[in-house]
């Protein structure tokens, strides 16, 4: 038996919704039109390979330290069987691919994709082994690796405000917004809109027909949090375009240092520090971590006295250099309580804009090629030129392979007048 941990994107995560937040045309190109990104997807492939190697490295490290972490998804490469939420025991770890082999297996599974990066990613892992990233991780208990969590956007009775301390400093901000909206509607029972954490195990029942989590007969969902009577807090979901608004997030690593629990995300090198680091903390996926993890911890405390002292210590990045000397380090991302507090509002807004365009397309009024393109400085961002620039500027004709090649502006081609600057 050869076991490989799955480290790919989650099913309704930041990589789906972030493009909609930035530019509706870009969302359409990626999610609706299936446009091949300009310049291929080398960056994503290399990143996925680093993720695969790092996930296996973390699992083996944990087992060697006498721990039994949970891994979200394991694939038996010999029988093609998939297992979910598996506890990695020493016996199971003996069948788990070693980090270098996991990288090679990733390319085999992807039918040769990324072969050119194998030796580079192996060099990253060699450096991991010579000088393990973050001496601190040696002191950590690795709880989960590459496991998905889920939050549903919806309303609960206003009483939930009493839970605010358990949800973090951001909760009252959202509660106030929800209350104002609700009072304006004249609702008899004032409700509080938020992104509510649900049982991660329920994601396994994902069908994409609206929500992975079975609803009760009254249409509501059960939160992991308990009400004053010890019953699950009931969530009335926000439904947009026929779908329950939710967000998923795959935790690269959930680790605990003493009583401090951290979400750790593996990332390619963040340019600079300071401001870049600050802004990086505001991306949707990290906001989702900071909104959902405190709830999961609060739910744990409600059920077990053993977790009484556990606190959430925020999002940290394991920053990996993918070129010599292949250094890696941990970076703590500062909290952003005010923007975190508006995550539910933001998800609602972005989903509504997607649903609006979808319905116009369904009625035949427009196509996704007609969607508004934001056209801002963001078109050239952290990772360079927007990868859908060719489709955006040239339309359907520019998406043929030849046209995509000739329009690779911003990648240092001979056509780029600033290439030598």
Where do contacts with ligand SF4 occur on this chain (CB under 6 A)? Answer: 22-23, 25-26, 373-375, 378-379, 386, 388-389, 392
Nearest distance in Å: CB 280, ligand SF4: 18
209 alpha carbon, distance to own chain's centre? 20
Please say which residue, 177 or 409, places its beta carbon nearer to ligand SF4.
Answer: 409
**Residues comprising the chain, all counted:** 421
Nearest distance in Å: CB 411, ligand SF4: 14
Please say which residue, 8 or 282, places its beta carbon nearer to ligand SF4.
Answer: 282
Please say which residue, 260 or 374, places its beta carbon nearer to ligand SF4.
Answer: 374
Nearest distance in Å: CB 371, ligand SF4: 9
Nearest distance in Å: CB 383, ligand SF4: 12
**Helices 42-64 + 99-109 axis angle, to 10:** 140
| Both tokens assigned to 40 | 């291929």
Please say which residue, 142 or 373, places its beta carbon nearer to ligand SF4.
Answer: 373
Nearest distance in Å: CB 372, ligand SF4: 8
* Structural contact between residues 344 and 193, judged by C-beta atoms closer than 8 angstroms: yes
Please say which residue, 320 or 371, places its beta carbon nearer to ligand SF4.
Answer: 371
**Left if phi > 0, otherwise alpha if psi is -120 to 50, otherwise beta: which for 419?**
alpha
What's the CA gap between 298 and 213, in Å, rounded?
A: 20
Please say which residue, 174 or 391, places its beta carbon nearer to ligand SF4.
Answer: 391
- Burial environment of residue 216 by CB neighbours within 10 A (0 to 12, 13 to 18, 19 or more): exposed
* Structural contact between residues 178 and 193, judged by C-beta atoms closer than 8 angstroms: yes
* Structural contact between residues 74 and 271, judged by C-beta atoms closer than 8 angstroms: no
Please say which residue, 106 or 388, places its beta carbon nearer to ligand SF4.
Answer: 388
Nearest distance in Å: CB 161, ligand SF4: 38
Nearest distance in Å: CB 390, ligand SF4: 9
Nearest distance in Å: CB 37, ligand SF4: 10
Neighbours of 308 (CB within 10 A): 9
Please say which residue, 219 or 375, places its beta carbon nearer to ligand SF4.
Answer: 375
Nearest distance in Å: CB 110, ligand SF4: 26
Please say which residue, 6 or 25, places its beta carbon nearer to ligand SF4.
Answer: 25
């Amino acid at each position: 038996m050869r076991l490989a941990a799955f480290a790919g994107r989650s099913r309704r995560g930041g990589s789906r919704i972030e493009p909609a937040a930035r530019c509706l045309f870009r969302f359409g190109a990626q999610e609706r039109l299936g446009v091949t990104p300009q310049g291929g997807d080398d960056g994503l492939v290399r990143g996925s390979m680093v993720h695969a190697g790092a996930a296996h490295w973390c699992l083996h490290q944990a087992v060697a330290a006498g721990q039994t972490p949970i891994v979200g998804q394991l694939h038996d490469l010999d029988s093609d069987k998939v297992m979910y939420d598996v506890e990695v025991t020493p016996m199971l770890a003996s069948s788990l691919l070693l980090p270098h082999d996991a990288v090679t297996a990733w390319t085999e599974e992807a039918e040769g994709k990324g072969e050119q990066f194998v030796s580079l990613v192996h060099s990253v892992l060699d450096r991991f082994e010579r000088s393990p990233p973050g001496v601190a991780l040696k002191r950590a208990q690795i709880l989960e690796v590459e496991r998905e969590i889920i939050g549903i956007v919806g309303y609960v009775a206003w009483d939930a405000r009493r839970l605010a301390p358990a949800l973090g400093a951001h909760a009252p901000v959202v509660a106030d917004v929800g209350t104002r909206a609700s009072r304006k509607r004249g609702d008899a029972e004032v409700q509080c809109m938020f992104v509510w954490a649900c049982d991660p195990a329920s994601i396994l029942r994902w069908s994409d027909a609206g929500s992975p989590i079975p609803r009760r007969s009254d249409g509501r969902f059960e939160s992991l949090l308990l009400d004053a009577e010890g019953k699950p807090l009931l969530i009335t979901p926000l439904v947009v375009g026929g779908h329950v608004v939710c967000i998923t997030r795959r935790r690269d690593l959930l680790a605990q240092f003493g009583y401090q629990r951290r979400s750790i995300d593996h990332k390619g090198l963040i340019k600079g520090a300071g401001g870049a680091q600050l802004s990086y903390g505001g991306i949707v996926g990290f906001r989702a971590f900071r909104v959902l993890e405190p709830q999961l911890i609060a739910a744990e405390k409600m059920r077990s006295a053993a977790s009484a002292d556990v606190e959430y210590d925020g999002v940290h990045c394991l920053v990996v250099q993918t070129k010599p000397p292949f250094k890696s380090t941990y970076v703590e991302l500062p909290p952003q309580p005010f923007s975190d507090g508006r995550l539910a509002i933001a998800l609602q807004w972005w989903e509504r804009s997607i649903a609006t365009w979808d319905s116009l397309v369904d009625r035949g009024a427009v196509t996704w090629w007609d969607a508004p393109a934001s056209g801002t400085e963001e078109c050239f961002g952290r990772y360079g030129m927007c990868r859908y620039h060719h489709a955006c500027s040239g339309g359907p004709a520019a998406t043929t392979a030849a046209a995509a090649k000739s329009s690779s502006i911003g990648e240092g081609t001979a056509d780029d007048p600033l290439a030598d600057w």
